[in-house]
Amino acid sequence: MNILRFVPRSLFFRLSLAVSLVMVVVFGASSYITFRIQSEQSLSATKTQAILLTRALKNTIRIGMESGHTESLASIFQTVGALPGVEKLRVFNEEGKIRYSMKPSEVGHLTDELDYTVYRSPERSTPFQSETTGHRSFCMVEPIENEAKCQRCHPRENEVLGVLDVCLSMGDTEKSIEYNRFLLLSFTWLAVILTSALISVILKRFVTAPVERLARTMESVEAGKLDVRVDIRSGDELGRLGGSFNEMVRKLSDTRAELEKFHHRQLARADRMASLGEMAAGIAHEIKNPLAGIYGAAQVLVNEFPEGDPKREIVGEMMTLIKRLDGTIRDLLNFARYTEPQFSRANVNEVIDKVLFLVQQIPEGKRARIVRDFDPAMPEIEMDSEQMKQVFLNLALNAVQAKPDGVALTVRTRGEVPADIPEAKHRSGYVMASVSDDGPGIPADRIGKVFQPFFTTKESGTGLGLSMTRKILDLHDGWITAESGSGGGATFTVFLPKVRA
């Protein structure tokens, strides 16, 4: 089971919890180490005290025995035994019989089995738990050797004259240790609580409160309110983040205002273009029939003049101009007429291949060097094949006419938009086809206008081909881009969706 599911998602709560846990670990470890050091120091102090007391008593016993005042040893034992912390003070012989003791009633009895065992063991100073008092005592058993001075009264074969047994109570020390542990735990928890509370206040003031204000402002911006600003005036990272966010919102607001203005201008322009288109279509329709009559009359008239007559040449030139005017009127009518695409599944490679075959039948196309860089894995997509033929025919004709003496025309298709195309989004959802030439290119100040109706860079162009191209692609939910380098050449790239929306 994931415990984090039950933890509130509040940033303030999680930060406070994390800080509290860290402080519990840090303060807890510090208190434990301090307690261990104090315990070791208390034990070491008791041990040192036992060693010093044992050595002092041993020297006292030796002096008393050398001077012959052995009767004073009993009073010395009683006096020292009355000192605070002295729990046991006695001397027993090799057999364990007590000779002197701080308690006269013990004289003549056998010493404790534990004391005698400790004396016989290599380690003669070991802290142990007393069964009678319920606390630890530190005991030392120190043998009194039969030195040369002592052999005046004692046989030489007795190596040990007696064993000094000293036990110091650690009851008060343990109480002090327990009290210190209680104080350490109490101050540790108090420090954790107070520090956590202080850090929580600081986090609330300098972190979570600014983040909450920033989040609320972001929600307002997400709802479309671009006039709001976040109020974070600190000079730290959050302050800089708030300033950057405010600047971003300001730029978004300015951009939206510009887009709204542009949108209004485009709507007004669209209305004007629609009206102009309707008017132009009406005028073109009215002109087309009389123009056909004029062309027919010119055909009759040209036959009235013999070959070589200058008048026949003039009438022939007039017929050429009439044909050109008729083509312009036809393009204008096609541009003004709305034609719903008839979608069916087709392959872009096959459509372009048919277009290139047609282009190669005209003089400029015969001189062109055409390179087909088709993607063999190009999928079939839904499109109007006839309209897409018109799209690629417009692009190919523009390319070959840009350099009539022989253009290098490269047509490239991809079943997925390559990574080197920066403008595309959702690359896997579109196919791409580009038409590139090595002609003179398009000036930088004109490339943004090439898709506008009636804009052309050719002397005989109508300026409607690329406008019709973009109109057809809009009906297919696709789009087209134009690029031209400073060294010449132009590339038009078409993007079409694999699946219709």
Do residue 368 and residue 312 come from a single domain? no
The token duo for 70 is: 């052995």
Measuring CA to CA, how many Å separate 47 from each of 97, 167, 301, 488, 500? 26, 10, 141, 99, 92
CA 418 – CA 281 distance, rounded (Å): 41
Structural domain contains residue 190:
no
143 shares a domain with 8:
yes
Domain shared by 347 and 277, yes or no: no
Q: Residue 116: inside a domain, yes or no?
A: yes
Strand residues in 201-323 grouped as ranges (E): none
pTM > 0.85:
no
Q: Which single residue is written with the structure tokens 């291949």? A: 353
Residues 98 and 146 in one domain: yes
Per the structure, the count of domains in the chain is 3
Q: Answer yes or no: do 453 and 367 share one domain.
A: yes
Asked whether 232 and 239 are in contact (CB, 8 A), the reply is yes
The bridge status of strand 125-129 relative to strand 98-101 is unpaired
Give the CATH number for residue 394.
3.30.565.10
Q: What is the CATH number of the domain that holds 269?
A: 1.10.287
Point out the domain boundary residue: 146, 177, 208.
Answer: 177
Contacts for 10 with CB less than 8 Å, ≥ 6 apart: 208
What are the tens digits of pLDDT across the range 164-221?
A: 888 887 777 778 778 888 887 888 888 878 887 888 887 777 777 787 888 888 888 8
Q: What is the pLDDT of residue 378?
A: 92
Burial 87-97 (b: 16+ CB within 10 A, else e): bbbbbbeeebe
Cα gap 320→125, rounded to integer Å: 130
Shared domain check, 471 and 374:
yes
72 found inside a domain: yes
Residue 215 forms part of a structural domain? no
DSSP 3-state percent helix, strand, coil across the chain (nearest 5): 55, 15, 25
CA dist list (Å): 475 to 82, 339, 343, 386, 495: 112, 9, 11, 13, 12
Structural domain that includes position 10: 3-177
Give the span between the Cα atoms of 336 and 187, in whole angstroms.
Answer: 88
Per-residue confidence (pLDDT) for residue 348, from 0 to 100:
93
On whether both 300 and 400 belong to a single domain, the answer is no
Note whether 386 and 291 are same-domain residues. no
**Would you state the pLDDT for residue 1?**
46
- Same domain? 161 vs 298: no
Q: Per DSSP, which regions of 390-429 are E strands?
A: 408-414
Rounded to whole angstroms, the Cα distance separating 57 from 73 reads: 10
Q: Is residue 218 part of a domain?
A: no
pLDDT tens for each residue of the chain, 501 residues long: 455 455 566 666 777 777 778 878 887 788 788 878 877 887 777 778 777 877 887 787 777 776 666 667 777 778 887 888 788 888 888 788 888 888 888 888 888 777 777 677 766 555 555 555 666 777 777 787 777 666 667 677 677 778 888 888 777 777 877 888 888 788 888 887 888 788 888 777 777 778 788 888 888 888 878 888 877 777 777 778 878 888 888 888 888 888 888 777 766 665 565 555 556 666 666 676 677 777 777 777 777 778 877 877 887 788 877 777 776 666 666 655 556 788 999 999 999 999 898 888 888 888 899 999 999 999 999 999 988 998 898 888 888 888 888 889 999 999 988 877 766 566 778 899 999 999 888 888 887 777 776 656 665 555 667 878 888 888 888 988 888 877 788 999 999 998 887
Sign of CA dihedral 115, 119, 120, 126: positive
HSE of 421 in the Cβ direction (CA atoms, 13 Å)? Answer: 26
CB 292 within 8 A of CB 322: no
Q: Does residue 99 fall inside a structural domain? A: yes
What is the C-alpha to C-alpha distance for residues 33 and 27, in angstroms, rounded to an integer?
10
322 and 350 in a common domain: no
Distances (CA, A) of 252 to 211, 221, 265, 424: 21, 10, 20, 22
Q: Which of 137, 153, 177 is the last residue of a domain?
A: 177
385-402 and 348-359 helices, crossing angle to 10°: 40
Residue type, 364: E
Which H/E stretch holds residue 497?
A: strand 490-497
Using a 10 angstrom Cβ sphere, with 0-12 exposed, 13-18 middle and 19 or more buried, the burial of residue 287 is: middle
Tokens of 168: 């110091």
Strand, coil or helix: 386:
helix
Are 146 and 154 spatial neighbours (Cβ–Cβ below 8 Å)? yes
Residue whose structure tokens are 């052999």: 151
- Residue 114 is part of a domain; what is its CATH number? 3.30.450.20
Domain end residue (candidates: 158, 177, 196)? 177
For 501, how many CA atoms within 13 A lie in the half-sphere containing its CB?
8
Whether 42 is in a domain gets the answer yes
Question: Are both 157 and 64 inside the same structural domain?
Answer: yes
The confidence score (pLDDT) of residue 270 equals 53
- pLDDT for 413: 94
Residue 193 placed within a domain: no
Residues 115 and 30 in one domain: yes
